[in-house]
Structure 1
Amino acid sequence: MGRQLGLDLPCRTALGRDDFFVAPSNALAAALIDDWRAWPGGKLALTGPQGAGKTHLTHVWAAMADAKILKAETLQSTDIAGLARCNVAVEDVPEIAGDAEAETALFHLHNLVLAEGGALLLTGAPPVSHWGLTLPDLTSRMRGTTAAALDAPDDTLLSALLVKLLADRQLTPRPDLIPYLLSRMDRSFAAAIELVAALDAASLALQRPVTRSLAALVLDKQSPRG
């Protein structure tokens, strides 16, 4: 049974392995995360557009590998030597491109983690060759890193994700809702998450079930005005 109107129930952000839907667009990346102990050189670069699932897979790996996660932009204020004793995931590496101090910190972290026998996961939206890093030694290390690209999700994957996100919010969609959403939404995980949150909020505010008519109101509101 779907959620009763007017009950603002909590939503759980699902970032576990069982919550990650495997499809052709992400199967290789998911397989490499599952087999992380076999990464060549102990490291992997995970790439793909915003909303493709990099953050989710990073959290999946961190849980499996007991790894620390940090944003690349925080490297300068991080105890690199202490961090290097763990398996480490560094997110959004392209954000530090051209920052000599941050790139140097990543270079040292890279070397120390691997020297300690740890594993290193690095993420960024574009292919590694387009990360824009300028430190020659770091660029060389990145060129030698196995990369796995996540593509934008296909209809099968987006459908499963929408159903899961709605279920997380105690919402049960009618059969015609998911195809309708797919026909009008942006094609990304991020867009799906934002859309479901907006549908939930509108349902509560207007005291209406989540139907195609309510979805039309939400999607029209999200569409940019000319």
Structure 2
Amino acid sequence: MAEQLSFELPSKTARGREDFFVSPSNAMAVALLSASTWPGGKLVLTGPEGSGKTHLVHVWAAETGARIVPAMALTSEDLLDLSSSPLAVEDVPQIAMDDAAQDAMFHLHNLTLANGHPLLMTGRAAPSFWALSLPDLQSRAQGAQHVALEPPDDELLGAVIAKLFYDRQLNPRPDLIRYLVRHMDRRFDAAARMVDRLDQIALAEKREITRALAARLMAEEVDLATAGS
């Protein structure tokens, strides 16, 4: 995949191949999703919220003709239809206590692979922590090849922040992105919250999004955290 920067009016999420920034922290996942085959025909992709899982799933689906379905939406009525093509099932751990959805996922797993189609499953933690109450489904998830999206390096975090601004049709100065990379919480969900709050405050105060505004916002968050401790 090409190494490029990606990324009220309204917000538009960019999820094409050209919008995904490849760095050492996600290169292995990108390589495996680009592979023509996986051991046993299945792969588990994990990573924290906002790490790029959904973006990568959409890239893979566009290139393979795969269907994408949330695990929570699975029912027994969908099995024949969904198993007739490559398939991505997102957030599988969310059905850990849903017997009906787990039963549907178990049969969908078997049917999809029996039909010769690849199966991609996602979650936040490694499959060994999914705690699925259906033992046969848990063992099949753990038997899949697993690749994790690693915590972001500076280059990737900067690209994600730029993309979050771009999705809102905003074009911040490069010094603001560098400042955020150096000083903010190094998590993708924190980056999403920061961009959202900067956008909201700038709109409310009718001002530009600047480094000074970001510094003010981070100082306010520190004060709130200190007051609550």
Name the TM-score, length of structure 1 as normaliser: 0.87
Cα distance between partner residues in 2 of 1:101 and 1:68: 21
* 1:69 corresponds to: 68
User: 1:78, CA displacement in angstroms?
Assistant: 4.9
Q: Work out the percentage of aligned pairs sharing the same amino acid.
A: 55
- 2:24 is the alignment partner of 1:24: yes
User: 1:94, CA displacement in angstroms?
Assistant: 0.9
**Contact 2:12/2:169 (CA < 8 Å) preserved in 1?**
no
CA RMSD of aligned residues (A): 1.9
* 1:117 corresponds to: 116
> Which digits, 9 at most, give the CA deviation of each residue in 1:122-181, with x for residues without a partner?
001111111112322222222321111111211110112222332443433334312321
- 2:152 is the alignment partner of 1:173: no
**Contact 1:166/1:196 (CA < 8 Å) preserved in 2?**
yes
- 2:124 is the alignment partner of 1:143: no
Q: Where in structure 1 are there 5+ consecutive unaligned residues?
A: 1-7
* 1:216 corresponds to: 215
* 1:5 corresponds to: none
Cα distance between partner residues in 1 of 2:212 and 2:158: 19
* 2:5 corresponds to: none
Cα distance between partner residues in 2 of 1:169 and 1:190: 16
Q: 1:168 to 1:136 in 2, by over 3 A?
A: closer
Cα distance between partner residues in 1 of 2:99 and 2:208: 53
Cα distance between partner residues in 1 of 2:75 and 2:162: 40
SS at match of 2:84: coil
The one-letter code sitting in structure 2 at the alignment partner of 1:27 is A
**Contact 2:43/2:145 (CA < 8 Å) preserved in 1?**
yes
User: 1:210, CA displacement in angstroms?
Assistant: 1.3
**Contact 1:84/1:109 (CA < 8 Å) preserved in 2?**
yes
**Contact 2:45/2:121 (CA < 8 Å) preserved in 1?**
yes
Cα distance between partner residues in 1 of 2:75 and 2:218: 41
**Contact 1:45/1:123 (CA < 8 Å) preserved in 2?**
yes
Name the TM-score, length of structure 2 as normaliser: 0.86
